């Protein structure tokens, strides 16, 4: 890998907020992987096996929680692809964030570039859930890409079984979203270098 922020490849861990096998947001995540620039190496970080977080376990994290947190630590940036449940993020996603940010002083999201996107059949997409998630990530000291905002209304056949976006305007928008995320990661790495 090249040493300069502009010329290197970045590891992006992505979290799909829904645990459902037929999740619309999992489809969206697949499309984003295909549309990402080649400088972004996209890898899903699963969290469905995490137990409920309790600070009673801070002194001896379960192995699955250690592995999850290590995957966040090893990523240059994190992409959240989340639905909206009851005007917020899914409980499983919040639980995963709690695991990765604890115990105090070992928050895996500190100085880690992040971006948020989501899809829903509703016209406002996942706007309210994204605002809740932004508040959480701000507390976790994660630099966030605030623009381009992306609230995708999912329509039948918007993304096919191969992860291809069938509407050109939406594909172009999502490709630009990933391009902007790449540029944001570079800016964060310049401002907050790994060895600082």
Per-residue pLDDT tens digits for 112-156: 999 999 999 998 889 999 999 999 999 999 999 999 999 999 999
Alpha carbons 21 and 23: distance in angstroms, whole number: 6
Hey, how many other C-beta atoms are within 10 angstroms of the C-beta on 6? 10
- For the segment 80-102, the average pLDDT, to the nearest whole number, is 97
Alpha carbons 24 and 12: distance in angstroms, whole number: 20
Per-residue pLDDT tens digits for 59-76: 999 999 999 999 999 999
Tokens of 41: 């190496």
Alpha carbons 46 and 105: distance in angstroms, whole number: 23
pLDDT confidence of residue 3: 52
Domains of the chain and any CATH numbers? 10-191 (3.40.50.360)
What does the CA dihedral 185, 78, 81, 153 come to, rounded to 10 degrees?
-10
pLDDT confidence of residue 2: 44
Instruction: Give the pLDDT band of residue 7 (cuts 50, 70, 90).
Output: confident
pLDDT confidence of residue 5: 76
Question: What's the pTM?
Answer: 0.95
pLDDT confidence of residue 196: 61
| Three-class SS state of 171 | helix
Name every residue whose Cβ is closer than 8 Å to that of residue 135 and which is 6 or more positions away in sequence.
Answer: none
89 Cα distance to chain centroid: 12
Least confident range from 68-72, 96-100, 157-161: namely 157-161
Mean pLDDT of the chain: 95
Looking at per-residue confidence, does 76 or 1 come out higher?
76
């Amino acid at each position: 890998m090249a040493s300069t922020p502009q010329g290197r490849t970045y590891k992006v861990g992505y979290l799909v907020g829904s645990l459902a096998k037929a999740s619309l947001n999992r489809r969206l995540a697949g499309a984003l992987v295909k549309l990402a620039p080649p400088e972004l190496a996209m890898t899903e970080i699963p969290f469905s096996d995490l137990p409920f977080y309790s600070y009673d376990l801070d002194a001896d994290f379960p192995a699955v929680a250690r592995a999850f947190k290590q995957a966040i630590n090893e990523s240059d940036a994190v992409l959240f692809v989340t639905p909206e449940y009851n005007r917020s993020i899914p409980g499983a996603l919040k639980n995963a964030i709690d695991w990765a940010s604890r115990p105090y002083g070992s928050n895996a999201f500190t100085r880690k570039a992040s971006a948020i996107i989501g899809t829903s059949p509703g016209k406002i997409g996942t706007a309210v859930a994204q605002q809740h998630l932004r508040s959480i990530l701000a507390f976790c000291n994660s630099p966030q890409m605030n623009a381009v905002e992306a609230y995708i209304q999912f329509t039948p056949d918007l993304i096919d079984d191969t992860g291809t976006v069938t509407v050109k305007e939406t594909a172009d928008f999502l490709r630009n979203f990933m391009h902007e995320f790449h540029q944001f990661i570079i800016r964060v790495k310049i401002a907050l270098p790994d060895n600082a």
